């Protein structure tokens, strides 16, 4: 799927900034922070344009936010865009990358009566395979 199609299916106007953000995220292969997205975005957009485009994509659930802690959030494309099933995410304490664990599904939870789910996020923190290998060879 192309960025333009994503905007089209959500009935959002095509702008180069919106398309650029989606393309950066499609090509990233990992979750990115707002700054990392901005650094990779081709073209010169001022802060306001970037921020507005970013928020629009988030509000329309094209972008999915993963809160790491109160200092850091990372973003991926929403499952509805990538057609992935709900999956856990892994934050590496060493290299600070977030990986989609596509093979680790988010289970359905049984909630007490009267409670409704708005979203479910499973975030696992630890050491990723790359960092583990690097530390072993030291």
Whose tokens are 């333009």? That residue is: 4
CA distances 39 to 11, 25, 65, Å, are 27, 12, 18
- Smallest distance from Zn ion to CB 35, Å: 19
- In the complex, least distance from residue 111 CB atom to Zn ion, rounded to whole angstroms: 23
Q: How far is CA 83 from CA 1, 21, 104, in A?
A: 10, 18, 15
We find the least distance from the C-beta atom of residue 92 to Zn ion, in angstroms, to be: 3
CB 26 within 8 A of CB 77: yes
> Whose Cβ is closer to Zn ion: residue 81's or residue 128's?
128
- Window contacting Zn ion (CB under 5 A); options: 14-22, 37-45, 53-61, 75-83: 75-83
Q: Mapping DSSP to helix (H, G, I), strand (E, B) and coil, where does residue 87 land?
A: strand
Binding mask 79-108 for Zn ion (x = CB under 5 A): -------------x-xx----x--------
Binding site residues, Zn ion, CB under 5 A: 76, 92, 94-95, 100, 128, 131
């Amino acid at each position: 799927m192309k960025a333009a199609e994503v905007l089209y299916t959500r009935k959002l106007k095509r702008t180069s900034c919106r398309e650029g953000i989606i393309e950066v995220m499609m090509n990233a292969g990992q979750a990115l922070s707002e700054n990392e997205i901005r650094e990779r975005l081709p073209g010169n957009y001022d802060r306001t344009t970037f921020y507005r485009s970013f928020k629009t994509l988030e509000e329309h659930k094209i972008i999915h936010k993963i809160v790491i802690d109160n200092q850091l959030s990372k973003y991926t494309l929403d499952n509805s865009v990538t057609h992935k099933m709900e999956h856990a995410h892994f934050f590496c304490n060493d290299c600070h990358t977030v990986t989609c664990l596509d093979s680790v599904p988010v289970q359905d939870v049984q909630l007490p009566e009267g409670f409704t789910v708005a979203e479910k996020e499973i975030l696992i923190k630890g050491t990723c395979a790359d960092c583990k290998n690097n530390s072993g060879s030291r």
